[in-house]
Amino acid sequence: MTAQAVQQSDLAVVIGLEVHVQLETDTKIFCGCSTDVADAEPNTHTCPVCLGLPGALPVLNRAAVESAVRVGKAIDADIPEETTFHRKNYFYPDLPKGFQITQYDAPVCQNGELEIEVEGERRTVGVRRAHLEEDPGSLQHKGGNIDTADYTLVNYNRAGVPLMEIVTEPDFRGAEEVRAFLAKLEEVLEYLGVFDSQRDGSLRIDANLSVVEADEIGDDGDVSDEALESANRTEVKNISSHKGAEKALSYEAQRQKNAVQRGREVEQETRHWDESRGITVSMRSKEEEKDYRYFREADLPPLQVSDWKRELDIPELPDARRERFGEEYGLSDEAASKLTSTRQVADFYEDVASEYDPDLAATWVADNLLGELNYRDMEVTDVADRLGEFKRLVELVAAEEITTKNAEETVLREMLDEGDDPETIIEREGLGKADEGEIEGAVTAAIEENPDAVEDYHAGEGGALNFLVGQVMQRTGGSADPGSVNQLLRERLDE
Ligand code: ADP
Ligand code: MG
Ligand code: ZN
């Protein structure tokens, strides 16, 4: 079949990812400089090592390796007996040494996998390798973009922040799968405590994309190695968000399909995702491995890591926890998913569920707390130090010291809006539950003042009782429980 004869509908997309993840460590990967650089003045978190001054020697950060091994355990990767570091040589102003220390033929994680779910279907994405490396510095183009700027500033605060590059097999068949993978990956990394998605630039994605004829793809989604190798692919750089990935890949897939359909060959090249214009643009012909002149980093000895895998623990991961929440607490899939979305939410739920009814805890954490936070564009991390207050609110509800309605509609909302604790709000708004005497008095008054309604009640009119309940509720400022008011009224009216 000639290229011209190929219809767009006969083409399928193949995608593989190289995901760069910043690991959360206190110090950089080869020196003692702090990684806490978000608000730092440019070039203040630097030293001879991360500036690449002659004679400075790298010292490997144990915490970075531990994080990498934990990631390896979570994705079920092989951790080799020995892992080594290499120099990847290239010149760019953000790389003061003229090479990046990375890993090459013995990366710390090999042959892992991660399961994703798209539209109810589960698929396993292979992770070819995941290796440690150092982040380069960052460039700031002034007065334009990379092509048009008047000048460019360089900041080496980021140089040497530990990165893990996670390279997948070309197992994705569409942008939705990529999005599901990235979400899952972030979730797992956050559970492991090695990653912070809120940190600017903590996840950066290069995506490789090619189009093949649809009948090259088997029922199980597999593509033959020959088809993969013969397909010309582009590598799209500079993707920094899940949404960006989906947009960039949809664009690039269409661009390649159009080219093939017009009988043109797709150039094997590196392209740049231009977020503001929503297009990918050609950067350069794709560099090859031999361009980098990889050789062993002689300043770092080989590292024996196989034992670390046994010695290091990882927490229960989101999928397992979700399943257990369903079984142990009888939660729906939806509730279990919400409650395991982050480790902090899951821990908080279990803390509350261990003391109060698991269903009550689920309603309070999944629906009320997460719902109100979401409405305010907030995350649980924003109220991390106030979880004790939320737990006290659940306790007040469980002990029937306050009505559910008042707790949800007044106390919780004011806690978030005003920052006060539940007791202060209850006191200020007079929301403590009315005592029995107060309720009895309100019931008597409601009966005495509404003879018509009492008559209607005795005549069998259902609405009359609701009206009387409403009267009592009003008198007690909503601090009585409607169910018991209802009962009390009926008892008195039926006397
Ligand atoms: P390179 O060394 O050129 O970067 P690799 O073989 O290491 O190439 O693969 C890099 C990425 O390209 C991997 O994520 C892999 O899944 C992906 N990839 C390989 N072949 C294809 C293809 N035909 N289409 C899309 N992605 C591919
Ligand atoms: Mg590559
Ligand atoms: Zn340093």
DSSP states of 358-387? HHHHHIIIIIIIHHHHHHTT--GGGGGGGH
Please determine, looking at this structure, whether the domain spanning 436-493 carries the CATH number 1.10.10.410: yes
CA–CA distance, 64 with 191 (Å, rounded to integer): 16
Reading the block at residue 288, the tokens are 């090859």
CA distance 350 to 150: 55
Phi, psi for 132 (deg, rounded to 5):
-90, 145
Ligand 1 centroid to Cα of residue 227, in Å, is 12
Distance in angstroms (rounded) separating the CA atoms of residues 320 and 89:
42
Ligand 3 centre distance from Cα of residue 137 (Å): 11
d(CA 131, CA 68): 8
Distance CA 360, CA 255 (A): 52
- For the Cβ of 107 lying below 6 angstroms from any atom of ligand 1, the answer is no
Mutate to test the pocket of ligand 1, among 208, 210, 213, 226 (most ligand atoms within 8 A of CB): 208
Residue 412, helix vs strand vs coil: helix
> Which residue's CA is minimally distant from atom 5 of ligand 1?
167
pLDDT by residue for the chain (495 residues), tens only, comes to: 444 456 777 899 999 999 999 999 999 999 999 999 988 999 999 999 999 999 999 999 999 999 999 999 999 999 999 999 999 999 999 999 999 999 999 999 999 999 999 988 899 999 999 999 999 999 999 999 888 999 999 999 999 999 999 999 999 999 999 999 999 999 999 999 999 988 888 999 999 999 999 888 887 778 888 888 889 999 999 899 888 999 999 999 999 999 999 999 999 999 999 988 999 999 877 677 888 999 999 999 999 998 899 999 999 999 999 999 999 999 999 999 999 999 999 999 999 999 999 999 999 999 999 999 999 999 888 998 999 999 999 999 998 888 899 999 999 999 999 999 999 998 888 887 777 788 888 889 889 999 999 999 998 887 888 999 898 888 887 777 788 888 888 888 888
At CB < 8 A and 24+ separation, what contacts does 48-56 make?
Answer: 49/160, 50/96, 50/134, 50/156, 50/159, 50/160, 51/96, 51/156, 51/159, 52/95, 52/96, 52/97, 52/98
The pTM for the full model equals 0.84
Q: Taking the CB of residue 360, how many other CB atoms lie within 10 A of it?
A: 15
Phi, psi of 256 (to 5 degrees): -70, -40
**How do the domains of the chain map onto residue ranges?**
8-310, 318-429, 436-493
DSSP H/E element including 459 = none
